[in-house]
Amino acid sequence: MSTIKDVAKMAQVSTTTVSRYLNEFPNIRPETRERIASAISVLNYRANVAARGLVTKSTRTIGVVASTDVDDFFDNPFFMHVLKGISRAAVQRRYDVLLSTVTGKEGELLSNWIHGHRVDGIVLMKSRVDDPTLKMFACERFPAVLLGRPHGNEQVDYVDNDNVEAALRATQYLIELGHLDIAFIGGSREMVVTEDRLKGYREALRQAAEPVHEEYVKVGQYAKQTGYDLCSQLLRLRRPPTAIVASDDIIATGALQAAHQLGCKVPQDLSIIGFNDIPASEFTIPPLSTVRVHMERLGDGVAQLLFDRVQDPQQPARHLIIKTEIVVRNSTTIVPRRS
């Protein structure tokens, strides 16, 4: 493995000049430039990232940390699409992406990355209601962007959907179809996104002057199994709901399966609307009505904000809200006659 010294020696110049060449300084004689270029190509030289980072204090790397269970992360197309947006944006700017999923001790990971100068900035995926890591960022003044929104009014950059509004509209849509017994199933209430969507759901009911039946509100994890379990429970209720708002397509998918197995026909007996519009939603049985959240745009936005902040760490916090829209497919219809 050759170093800058080897190149300098072969090109018969000082390491300084080689360094200048590498960093595209203007004032180098074309002749010297030539010699350096050919030396580099002969030696197949590439700058040592560690050495460079040590002095420049920059890594040209951004970290992406998903504070979720590994399965919930990789199995959920939502995250993968956001990740795609981030990755694409990073490649464009010639940055690398460091990826990590940790549950529990994300604090330690972040400490290592931040204080260990491992990354120039961090994307934090999914915020919890009471997120200690968020406080870290605030204290550290380290470039970071949140996917989702903070629960309090912390000064962090973030990109989020209009979740409250979206859930409100989704529920209203069901109400307009004549549904009154509408249930809500979601992931952990520790996630802000769950709270927000639940809030929109409640608000729609309130505006329609309908009561919220607490046995209609159930949560678990952001996984298919949760959808399956909760839907089963709902359908076994004395008075089962005629419609369900699922706070994630993955969950809706599980609900679909449960309904099917319990002989409950969707949408005739039960309407289901999901969230995200993952590709699979188009192919479920029946195709799933859902709230489209523009996953890649979220990723783009997150990357955009992050790189801006890396460049100017002092600027005031910025927020980006991506509008959603309801996609009506075949899992929702007008309310059935009560038997």
Partner DNA sequence: TTGTAGGCGTTATCAT
Partner DNA sequence: ATGATAACGCCTACAA
Residue 84 phi, psi (nearest 5): -60, -45
- Dihedral, 151, 81, 116, 134 alpha carbons, nearest 10: 0
* Contacting residue, 26, 27, 44, 211, with a second copy by CB under 8 A: 44
Contact between 252 and 223 (Cβ < 8 Å): no
Q: DSSP assignment of 176-226, as one string?
A: HTT--SEEEEES-TTBHHHHHHHHHHHHHHHHTT-PPPGGGEEE--SSHHH
Find which of a second copy, DNA, none residue 283 binds, CB within 5 to 8 Å per kind: a second copy
**Position 24 contacts DNA (CB under 7 A):** no
Binding mask 27-46 for DNA (x = CB under 7 A): xxx-xx------------x-
The residues in 270-309 that bind a second copy, with binding defined as CB under 8 A, are 279-280, 283-285
Per-residue exposure over 197-221, b if at least 16 CB sit within 10 Å of its own CB, e if not: bbebbbbbbeeeeeeeeeebbbbbb
Residue 337 DSSP label? P
CB of 36: closest distance to DNA in angstroms? 9
The Cα 161–Cα 324 span in angstroms is 7
In the range 149-188, which residues lie near a second copy by CB under 8 A?
Answer: none
User: According to CB under 7 A, which one of 9, 43, 52, 330 is a site residue for DNA?
Assistant: 52
Q: Which does 19 bind (CB under 5 to 8 A by kind): DNA, a second copy, none?
A: DNA
261 binds DNA (CB under 7 A): no
What is the SS3 assignment for 265?
coil
Smallest distance from DNA to CB 204, Å: 53
Q: Residue numbers of the site for a second copy (CB under 8 A)?
A: 1-2, 44-51, 53-54, 59, 61, 70-71, 73-75, 77, 80-81, 83-84, 87-88, 91, 96-102, 111-112, 114-118, 224, 253, 256-257, 279-280, 283-285
